[in-house]
Amino acid sequence: MPEGDTVWRTARALHGALAGEALIRSDLRVPRLATTDLTGREVLEVVPRGKHLLTRVGGGLTLHSHLGMDGSWRVHATGERPRGGPQHQIRAVLATADRTAVGYRLPVLDLVRTTDESTLVGHLGPDLLGPDWDADEAVRRLLSDPGRTVGEALLDQRNLAGVGNVYKSELCFLLRITPWLPMASVPDPERLVALAKKLLEANKSRLSRITTGDARPDRALWVYGRADRPCRRCGTPVLTAGQGPEGRERTTYWCPHCQTGPPPPAG
């Protein structure tokens, strides 16, 4: 599942493949951009902003993409057959003479003036992997709604940018609190923020996400993806419940023995 570390790694791969080169082909397969042609423009840089990707090209334009739940960008040698999924899932193609980047299943694709990027990402909080990282500001934003659950507060990119559902569940386990604990009751919000930063930094260059310190298959995460299986710490079966606004609930994983705090609301 793409989170801040995945997006950071994707941006680095795209930047390394495209930056400094002119596009010899562009194909943006969303209706509003179907007639847009970026051919001939130089790719200046590709930068991450939380879970967002900003591909800046010559002429003051930025191609903005978001990976959503299962989107991806794949890079291959120009002329090779794309291998990231079926053709009907391709939403964007950016090709230089040597390398081609193909975006699959991208739920968001926009083209804006680079000077207008703030209209797309200006609402985001401090980026855990960005040059604007400000731990104090992240804590302030998380505590601005003290009655909100820690799980929902962490997923709100306006508080801090980069945490997704995997890290939400893992952070709460590591701090031994349930995701339904109100932010006002989190014993050490500064530690919460510092741990989020530490985990994303540790994983940004890895293909496999690790929070346990054990890179072996099926041992990398504490609770995420382990529904009804024994907690790695105490052996109690890991539970799941939906969390978030109605219709947009995300599956949350937690250990009812190791983590203290409110359980999920009934129903």
Active site residues: 2-3, 51, 250
CA 56/CA 112 separation, integer angstroms = 10
Residue 20 falls in which region: left (phi positive, over 0), alpha (psi -120 to 50) or beta: left
Element (H, E) at 101: strand 99-104
Give the DSSP letter string of 161-207: BS--HHHHHHHHHHTTB-TTSBGGG-S-HHHHHHHHHHHHHHHTT-S
Q: HSE-up of 129 (CA within 13 Å, CB side)?
A: 26
Of the candidates 116, 170, 171, which has an alpha carbon nearest to the alpha carbon of residue 138?
A: 171
CA 137/CA 195 separation, integer angstroms = 15
Element (H, E) at 138: helix 135-142
Question: How do 61-66 and 72-77 pair as beta strands?
Answer: unpaired
CA 252/CA 241 separation, integer angstroms = 5
